[in-house]
Amino acid sequence: MVLSEIKSLWDDRIPNNKKPRQTQVTESVVGGRTRESIKGLERKIIEQYQPNENIWRSEEATKKWAEDKYQAMKSIEYISTRNTTEDPNYGEKISRQRAEMLEKWYEFMETDPDIKDNPFARITILKAITEDLLPENSKTAVEFDRTLAKKIIADAMNDVDNVSFRKAYLSALKAQSQKGDKGEKIDFDGVRGTMFTVPQTDSSSEDFASNVAKVKAYSDGTNWCIRSWNAAPYIQQGAMHFFVDEHGLTQVCIRENSPGQVAEIQQRQQNGTRPIPYITAIKDFMDRHEIKYPDKYLDDALAAKPEFDKMKQELQTFVANKDYKGILEKLGITVTVKPDGTWELSHYKAQLGNFTLNDLGINENELLANVSSIKGNADFANSNATSIPKLQYVYGQFNFIGSNLSDIRSLKEINGIKINWE
């Protein structure tokens, strides 16, 4: 991948960092307000985007600046380019769904009497619902619920330091969709959590809309197509079973295409690999409920489980002690401590054959927090890392497609090519 492509991809990947068109205030504001006097969401937005002093000193100029920023964020086309061999129009479908859902949010933000004149609230909401709408993934815009949106943004405005709109809204949306679902407790072979089942539902059923909402809620945070446009057609084909771990994260979906017959089993990352960490618990559930799936799939996954268990056991003490240098070295990655105390890695790869570092329970943000250079290739496909704040040099090939990285602008050089981000 050439540098121009990387820069282009990254400009799309962090759309909320694009500079909006602004009306600059050229004259100093004499006797303007102090930074400390600015409160609430206005203060939070100023701290986040850092307008110049001539702007924030004036309440009127700040509001105009914020309105410009909201309009610039709104003007971005949150497209997906994630086409697949099976469906070459996949990205187009995702892009259309994103646009349709965002229109509902825009209409709410620009007509609701409590926020239509508050650009700081609108920026807060828009950033929250678009921050993971990256070109190379298939994530869709957050489902819109007017009642919940009004409540959560009011909470955020009243307690700006403690309420995250995105986190609180998604939590409330999921709780609402799952209301009344007790699920089946799973405690098998060290795997603990709950299996929730959304039954096959015809579009004529009075439960259809609520069950579609449940499918989307259980799929939240994944790249599954049932998080968006395929929830409705697939729930008509067969039941869906969602394994939610003890931390509240959906890790596996078992989708039936007819009673007792499985169409697919997907793990959270949807990276084409089998859900090795959960496979014995999944098989136990399927056996007890007489759900059939090709033996080869299950046999191959079960065959890989001992290797996964062995690796997890070997890393257990390192992970518990947060010995990140030890973890990297155990993975066969040479760690060189540089004179400034940061680390250079011999190479990096998040996918370990049939499973990932994420499957092993390793927090890659913490694992890589002190890494400033990577001597060989750096492959972040299926990585759970979102930030590598000290990484400046990758001397080999760098792959971040299919990762969750949110910014790489600390990088100064990739594969011998100097980077100027300006």
| Range scoring the smallest mean pLDDT among 27-31, 265-269, 307-311, 316-320 | 27-31
**Cβ partners under 8 Å of residue 420, min gap 6:** none
- Mean pLDDT rounded to a whole number for the chain: 86
CA max distance for the chain: 76
* DSSP tag of 74: H
* DSSP tag of 199: -
pTM for the structure as a whole: 0.69
What ranges do the domains of the chain cover?
A: 12-177, 183-293, 319-418
Q: Is 202 helix (H, G, I), strand (E, B) or coil?
A: coil
β strands within 99-160, DSSP E: none
At 21, is the pLDDT very low, low, confident or very high (cuts 50, 70, 90)? very low
The closest alpha carbon to 245, from 281, 294, 212, belongs to 281
- Locus of tokens 């930074």: 35
pLDDT at 23: 38
CB 205 within 8 A of CB 120: no
Q: What is the mean pLDDT of residues 166-192?
A: 87
Percent of the chain past pLDDT 70, that is, above it, reads 90
The tokens for 150 are 């009004």
CB 386 within 8 A of CB 406: yes
pLDDT at 273: 66
Residue 42 has pLDDT above 90, yes or no: yes
CA-to-CA distance for 384 and 364, rounded, in angstroms?
6
Segment 43-92, tens digit of pLDDT = 999 998 999 999 999 999 999 999 999 999 999 989 988 777 777 888 88
Segment 87-108, tens digit of pLDDT = 788 888 889 889 999 999 999 9
Segment 328-352, tens digit of pLDDT = 999 999 999 999 999 999 999 998 8
pLDDT at 14: 46
Residue 419 has pLDDT above 70, yes or no: yes
Segment 365-387, tens digit of pLDDT = 999 999 999 999 999 888 888 88
